[in-house]
Amino acid sequence: MKTLVIGGSGSTGVPVLEGLLRRGHDVTMLHRGVHEPDGLPDVPHIHADPHFPESLTEAIGNAQYDLVLAMYGRVAAIAAVFAGRCGHLISIGGVPAYRGCLQAAQVHPYGMALNAREDGPLSDGSEPVPKFAKLIRAAERAVLERAEAGAYRGTVIRYPAIYGPRNLVPWEWSVIGRVRDGRRRMILPDNGLWIIARCAARNAAEVVLGAVDHPEVANGQAYNAADDDQFTVRQWAETVADIMGAELEFVGVPREIAPSALIELLPPTGDPHILLDNNKAKRELGYTQVVPARVAMIEAVEWLSANPVAPEDYPLYPGRFDYDAEDRLIDAYLQAVEWVREQAPDDAPDVRHPMPHPKTVSVGRDEGGR
């Protein structure tokens, strides 16, 4: 099968390429050529900019493909260029497709539905529609509407926060960097009690490959990618520290006064909570995760430990690691907590189990009036 992978050098691209080659595909990779990491499968490269239709058209000439995977670039442009020129187009999107993922406070009830399913409320189903969400949904429609019109089979895969070797955002570095610096405490906005859906790169790739293997079933469909096991941000941070054999004191601070810590830990386009249902991919594509989350986290930590984050590799990484500023914030917050307790003391009432617990045989109420 003649296959074009647009992108392919990132965390999910490499296992997708490897999976295609195992299936006997004749694979070509198209990307800008900016990232040529070690370990890329040996396939031909086309260097072009997939954000612009004229660059794509010039690069591929009259070529036609059985399968095109749009893992990078401007999907609306890719969808138009390959209409009538490929048998199946699979595009990668994301959770901002769901209503409430962005600008959660403007949605009632607040935020995104938990265990969001593919048939749930989408971000452009009602106003207001955040700008980025509008772009995400326009990209999805560009693929799915052409699929409905018969231009090709079309499938959308919705990614959450991806993690693993070569990932675009080195999530684990917020913990790893502090451990390496000998830091003993770390701020967690809202005590890290958010749930942010994540997917190991190899598991996300398996969802993509499931759509490759079942083109008729996947035609016109969207699928969530997500690990079976999910963590709160605190559980995730503690797990990273445990993997490193380190002890960190995690200090909960309200997110409103910890924006620097917030941006290190939360996808920049999302608000907590973000939790996806991945059962549709299991039912229709036969998806089974290839790596448990804990094992994938070990792989991610080991890779980042061997390949430390550097500005030239991650020019937009927002972590400041300004420990003096962090200490000032922690100390000021703890002082403020004590001040509030003094000014407005609030003692919790005594709480007892609501079910009766009689101390003697009785057909009436027990000693607690239950």
3-state SS track over 45-77? EEECCCCCHHHHHHHHCCCCEEEEEECCCCHHH
Distances 366 to 152, 288, 349, 354 between C-alpha atoms, Å: 70, 52, 20, 11
Cα 115 to Cα 120: distance, rounded to the nearest angstrom: 10
Q: Provide the 10 A C-beta neighbour count for residue 323.
A: 15
Per-residue pLDDT of 202-236, as tens digits, reads 999 999 999 999 999 999 999 999 999 999 999 99
Structure tokens at 242: 């445990």
**pLDDT for res 8:** 93
Q: Which domains does the chain have, with CATH numbers?
A: 2-335 (3.40.50.720)
pLDDT for 37:
78
pLDDT at residue 363, rounded to an integer:
74
What is the reported pLDDT for 228?
98
User: CA-CA distance, 73 to 80, in Å (whole number)?
Assistant: 13
**Distance separating alpha carbons of residues 72 and 137, to the nearest angstrom:** 16
Q: What are phi and psi of 185, to 5 degrees?
A: -145, 155
Centre a 10 Å sphere on the Cβ of residue 255 and count the other Cβ atoms it contains. Answer: 18
Integer Cα distance of 79 and 89 in angstroms: 8
Q: Are 20 and 212 in contact (CB under 8 A)?
A: yes
Counting as low any pLDDT under 70, the low residues of the chain are 267-270, 370
DSSP 103-129: SGGGSSSSSPPTTB-TTS-BTTSSS--
Pairwise CA distance, residues 55 & 47, whole Å: 9
